[in-house]
Structure 1
Amino acid sequence: MKNISKKNWVLYIVTFLVVVIGDQLTKILVSSSMMLGQSQAIIDNFFYYTYSHNQGAAWGMLSGHISLFVVVSLAAAIFMFYYFSKTTKAQRLTRYGIVLTFAGLVGNLTDRLYFGYVRDFIDFIIFGYDFPIFNIADMAVVIGVGLIILEIIFEDYINGKKKIRD
């Protein structure tokens, strides 16, 4: 971690804080202004705010096993710190992805520890499919993991070791 500039540390810390604070503020806003199960159309037949509680993981899997989620979250946090410490200066997307993923983990872990469930509210209907309701922390995790995967797949191209036609 010695090869991280002060500027990048500031970027990582600000990103982490914006995600965690933004996640918690939006959850507070929704939970204080909507009843559980209430839905508000933002774009009819496409995008809604629907306030829900998720006691499980993605899609409500393993609902009610909060202690399992806390242990898994803490193990994931330790792994992320370790993985971050092993990244190189060239692995910018991976570092940023880890920060986003960690921020999302903290946002949802905060809910689990404080409420016993995660507050979700972002609800999309895509081609008739009502996608599972999620929140800002979930988005950070998905984007963060996506950045890590992108860098793993395209690492040689990103670092100039290969050209697109290779």
Structure 2
Amino acid sequence: MAVRLVGRRSYWPAYLIGAVVCILLDQALKLWTVQTFAEGEFRNFIPGVLSLGLVYNTGAAWSLFSGAALPLAALRLVVGAGLLVYLVRRPVPPLMGVALTLVASGALSNALDGWRLGKVVDTLSSHTFSFVTRLMGQGNFPIFNLADVWVVSGVLLIVLLSFRTKRSPSASASERGDHA
């Protein structure tokens, strides 16, 4: 029994390493983009699908909360740090740990931009997503960054994991017809 708990808890170093790797990847792409592109400049990366470029955002997606970079950075810092503390202190199933790590690292990387620059560096533009959002009458899809990809991927994984149902031993027995 103790081995099982220790085994489940032993994943937290991997979650922390994963968070550091995700943050470094996002920050490296942002640094390269700032050094390579003028603000507002974009170039095709995958023609018709994805472009790389540079814009700054002082708010959140779809320009929500524009001008609130520091309060948003504080909120992102609290969320990201809180999730990492949770992962260190509580055993979680591995896939849930990955999902929470993705959300935490995305939040922390964008928080780093907010504190350091007073705005978030956005680098990716999806022509495919924009096509879909324009069909829905919502204009172009927001320009985003890898941190946003981490957050959205983590949330989607959490949603998918929520559909997994755990069967209690008594429910499984009654389904098989093993009545006591």
**TM-score for both structures, normalised by structure 2:** 0.75
Determine what percentage of the aligned residue pairs are the same residue: 26
Greater C-alpha radius of gyration? 2
Structure 2 residue 133 is the aligned partner of structure 1 residue 134: no
Partner letter of residue 162 of structure 2? I
The Cα offsets for residues 79-130 of structure 1, whole Å up to 9 and x where unpaired, read as: 42465367544x2222111111111111100100000100011111127343
Partner letter of residue 54 of structure 2? Y
* Matched position secondary structure for 1:154: coil
Specify the alignment match of 1:144 in structure 2: 154
* Matched position secondary structure for 1:35: coil
Question: Matches of 2:77 and 2:20 in 1, distance apart?
Answer: 19
The 1:67–1:28 alpha-carbon spacing in structure 2 relative to 1, beyond 3 Å, is closer
Structure 2 residue 100 is the aligned partner of structure 1 residue 98: yes
Specify the alignment match of 1:153 in structure 2: 163
- 1:50-65 maps to which residues of 2 (within 5 A)? 50-65=53-68
- 1:73-88 maps to which residues of 2 (within 5 A)? 73-77=76-80, 79-81=82-84, 83-84=86-87, 87-88=90-91
Specify the alignment match of 2:16 in structure 1: 13
Gaps of 5+ in 1: none
Partner letter of residue 123 of structure 2? F
Question: Matches of 2:84 and 2:77 in 1, distance apart?
Answer: 11
How many residues were matched structurally?
156
- Contact 1:50/1:133 (8 A) holds in 2: no
**TM-score for both structures, normalised by structure 1:** 0.81
The 1:67–1:30 alpha-carbon spacing in structure 2 relative to 1, beyond 3 Å, is closer
Question: Matches of 1:39 and 1:78 in 2, distance apart?
Answer: 33
Question: Matches of 1:13 and 1:67 in 2, distance apart?
Answer: 25
* Matched position secondary structure for 2:127: strand
The 1:12–1:78 alpha-carbon spacing in structure 2 relative to 1, beyond 3 Å, is closer
The Cα offsets for residues 1-25 of structure 1, whole Å up to 9 and x where unpaired, read as: 96412xx234212211210001000
* Matched position secondary structure for 2:34: helix
Q: Where do 4+ consecutive residues of structure 1 move more than 4 Å?
A: 85-89
Specify the alignment match of 2:35 in structure 1: 32
